[in-house]
Structure 1
Amino acid sequence: MKISIGNDHAGPDYKKAIVEKLKALGHEVTNYGTDSTDSVDYPDFGHPVAQDVSEGKADFGIVICGTGNGIAMSANQHKNVRAAVCWTKEIADLCRRHNDANILSVPARYTSVPQAVEMVEHFIATDFEGGRHANRVNKIACV
């Protein structure tokens, strides 16, 4: 599986642990994130991830910022992207099963690194249920 990842200054440690786990599982990872804790702008790292997902260059994306919200808002500006902010593995499961989310947004200031890795594992292993949820997902895009 191909997975793109991006993070701002709140997430270098999260990204490192997630990338290590993904590679250990045999996935190909494209890294757009910073390795520094110096302040940067999250859209600069969220947009390339979302573009990869939108264009089919990546199966999934993972984005990380302090709350997970700003970088998810940036990612969600791209066609066919559904970035979901998650803070538990159960939410990560549901956003895949019910919302067909294709980008996981991690709130680094509100989760631990082990929680984030666990969410990623659940996110990429969970399939979209379709059915009644497909009609709802099809109503998300405005353009």
Structure 2
Amino acid sequence: MSSKTIAIASDHGGVELKAQLAKALADWGWGVLDLGTDGPASVDYPDYAAKVAEALKAGKAARAVLLCGTGIGISIAANRFRHLRAALVHDAFGARMCRQHNDANVLVMGGRTIGPEVARDCLKIFLETEFEGGRHAGRVAKFSE
């Protein structure tokens, strides 16, 4: 697995925030696997969730970021894949808890619902926070049953 690479993808509703977060990742020394989309033309968010699922399964990235307008649709699409634990977050606390308690491997945010500064904070916390394990490990294991 590429432990220093983060996959990132969005539909048209998250494309601007995706570009900002990809730049932040690169500035922080992470490799960025940009899986699209790259413009404002309408696209289907489930296709981008599938691209991230494929990249994580193939070991091309350690974790991922997904974005759509609200984050809701793409998080639903992502969680259809058993090996993804996609967490829609809106703030730093959610970003921390999704890692500590849920071992989330995909951070989801809404390009139209979160500002770039908060999104960068969430991403940084998501990358720096470890899974606690312990009492949470058994619960997380049930996600893939």
User: Are the equivalent residues in 1 in contact too, given 2:82–2:143 (CA < 8 A)?
Assistant: no
Q: 1:19 aligns with which of 22, 36, 58?
A: 22
Query: Which residue in the other structure is 2:61 paired with?
Result: 58
Q: Using the alignment, how far apart are the partners of 2:64 and 2:116 within structure 1?
A: 17
* Percent identity of equivalent pairs: 40
Query: Which residue in the other structure is 1:34 paired with?
Result: 37
How far does residue 70 in structure 1 lie from its aligned partner after superposition?
1.2
Query: Which residue in the other structure is 2:46 paired with?
Result: 43
Query: Which residue in the other structure is 2:129 paired with?
Result: 126
How far does residue 138 in structure 1 lie from its aligned partner after superposition?
0.8
| Structure 1 outlier segments of 4+, above 4 Å | none
Query: TM-score scaled by structure 1?
Result: 0.94
Q: Using the alignment, how far apart are the partners of 2:67 and 2:10 within structure 1?
A: 5
How far does residue 69 in structure 1 lie from its aligned partner after superposition?
1.5
Q: Does 1:70 align with 2:70?
A: no
Count of residues in Structure 1 that have an aligned counterpart in Structure 2: 142
SS of the equivalent of 2:104 reads coil
User: Are the equivalent residues in 1 in contact too, given 2:99–2:126 (CA < 8 A)?
Assistant: yes
User: Are the equivalent residues in 2 in contact too, given 1:54–1:79 (CA < 8 A)?
Assistant: no
- The Cα offsets for residues 78-114 of structure 1, whole Å up to 9 and x where unpaired, read as 2321000001011010000000000001112211111
Bigger drift between 64-73 and 89-98 goes to 64-73
Q: Does 1:141 align with 2:130?
A: no
Query: TM-score scaled by structure 2?
Result: 0.93
How far does residue 54 in structure 1 lie from its aligned partner after superposition?
2.7
Q: Using the alignment, how far apart are the partners of 1:53 and 1:16 within structure 2?
A: 20
Q: Does 1:102 align with 2:88?
A: no
SS of the equivalent of 2:108 reads strand
Q: Using the alignment, how far apart are the partners of 1:33 and 1:112 within structure 2?
A: 20
Query: Which residue in the other structure is 1:115 paired with?
Result: 118
Q: 1:91 aligns with which of 71, 91, 94?
A: 94
User: Are the equivalent residues in 2 in contact too, given 1:7–1:63 (CA < 8 A)?
Assistant: yes
- The Cα offsets for residues 13-60 of structure 1, whole Å up to 9 and x where unpaired, read as 111110111001111111112121221111111111122123322100
Q: Which runs of 5+ in 2 are unaligned?
A: none
User: Are the equivalent residues in 2 in contact too, given 1:54–1:78 (CA < 8 A)?
Assistant: no
Q: Using the alignment, how far apart are the partners of 2:85 and 2:59 within structure 1?
A: 13
Q: Which runs of 5+ in 1 are unaligned?
A: none
